[in-house]
Amino acid sequence: MARGMPGVLQAGREVVDRLARQSPARLALGVFGGVIAVFTALLSMPWATASGERAPFVDALFTATSAVCVTGLVTVDTGTYWSTAGQATILVGIKIGGLGVMTLASILGLAVSRRIGLTQKLLVSSETKTTRLGEVGSLVRTVIVTSTVLEVAIAVVLIPRLRMLGDSWGEAVWHGVFYAVSAFNNAGFIPTREGLTPYAADWWVLLPIIVGVFIGSLGFPVILNVARTWRRPRRWSLHSKLTLTTSLGLVAFGAVMVAAFEWTNPRTLAGIGWNETFLAALFAGVMPRSGGFSTVDVADMHEGTWLLQDALMFVGGGSASTAGGIKVTTLAVMLLAIVAEARGDRDVEAYGRRIPREALQVAIAVSLVSATIVLVACLLLLAITGLTLDVVLFEVISAFATCGLSTGLSSDPTLPDAAKYVLTVLMFIGRTGTMTLAAALALRSRRRVIRLPEERPIIG
């Protein structure tokens, strides 16, 4: 048996390398799908539920996909339906999913070959948007070390406060670790039925979660770049500058607009103190980035707030981050192109750099394909459930953007299984599809020796 193991490892390495060369996207999707299958099987075990009975397949699959895709949507209550072992399984799924599709593929390749080869470096490079192959090995280590260190830091801050608020030491440690991992990975899972509602005015609890969600949504290339040159912001890459400025702008815009829409809503922000209002608005401005936590019931918000959050969720966070959506750099590039067109500029420029036209083409393609996916999913859920468009649209965008905010549709016990499967597929596509599409379009870029004559059609 032992003598045959090297041959099995060699065969496995050859299969991985062959798939990587022929179809990197297929390898990535296969690895990610395989991880979801494993966690579905684990959550289907009797020990995973609090009742000791096997969970229905659709609920196990939905929860596993939501965890590995770091989404946070649930069909059953995480804190009461799953046992401690089941919650620990979900937490491990969140941690693995947060590492990213291509990063996970590189780690598996490293486990087989005991080194990161050129193929694996190319794979993770397409996920993390790192162009220098020499940086990929360092980036993989940074992904693991940075995420773990930040998760530990968040947990260390949360644990004593949770203990002060009445949790036993065991509960405080477990809840602190769970919230820390869920926050940094933008997963939105909560280990208790009440969630964060009891801490709606507690800065000590909510601020670390806000910081964890925001940093996790930036992306590891930004974290790596800023960590290396934090004393010299001028040396930050264009990607880092665009991600940081657009992210901060969206957070500020979201917080102000949520406060404006909900200011007079007696079910959310009306009638509470300034401190709690400011904290709730800030929290609500950050979470649609893909965090998925909430201190007020989303179902109680105005429809205008839902529409605002739809837009914020659709944009999502940074490229190669734990967040979903079309990504903030996609939005930034398109806005810069609009500004350049309005000014009559030939080139799209930002921070003293010219953005290639190919980047704009990829941004437009990703946005249109993503909008089409959302449209198709909405049509399917409207036909299946018979619900109104506002509720369906919110849930669809939350699933596609791997955000996890919900008006209660996913956890509705009357929701048909067919709708759950649609949302499950949507979470998988949202986590892997836009990245795979962007990488595929970038790889297909080619230079033509002969170019056809130019003729401009009438636009608008």
Beta-strand ranges (E) seen in 46-112 are none
Residue 453 is assigned to a structural domain of this protein? no
pLDDT tens digit at each of 460 positions of the chain: 445 555 555 555 555 555 544 555 666 677 788 899 999 999 999 999 999 999 999 999 999 999 999 999 999 999 999 999 999 999 999 998 887 755 654 444 444 444 445 455 555 555 555 545 455 555 567 678 888 999 999 999 999 999 999 899 999 999 999 999 999 999 999 998 888 989 989 999 999 999 999 999 988 778 888 888 888 888 888 999 999 999 999 999 999 999 999 999 999 988 888 888 999 999 999 999 888 999 989 999 999 999 999 999 999 998 878 888 999 999 999 999 999 999 988 889 999 899 988 888 888 988 998 999 999 999 999 999 999 999 999 999 999 999 999 999 999 999 999 999 999 999 998 888 766 665 555 555 555 566 678 766 876 6
Query: Considering the domain boundaries, does residue 52 fall inside one?
Result: yes
Q: How many domains does the chain have?
A: 1
Residue 102 lies in a domain: yes
Using CA atoms in the order 447, 451, 455, 460, what is the torsion angle rounded to 10 degrees? -10
Assigned domain for 448 exists: no
- Is residue 455 one of the residues assigned to a domain? no
Report whether 289 contacts 324 (CB < 8 A). Answer: no
Predicted pLDDT of residue 294 = 92
For residues 25 and 31, what is the distance between their CA atoms, to the nearest angstrom? 10
pLDDT at 133: 47
SS3 category, 349: strand
Asked if residues 188 and 403 have their Cβ atoms less than 8 Å apart, the reply is: yes
The total number of residues shown for the chain amounts to: 460
Query: Structural domain of residue 302, as residue ranges?
Result: 5-443
CA dihedral for 179, 181, 183, 188, sign (positive or negative): negative
| 456 inside domain | no
81 occurs within a structural domain: yes
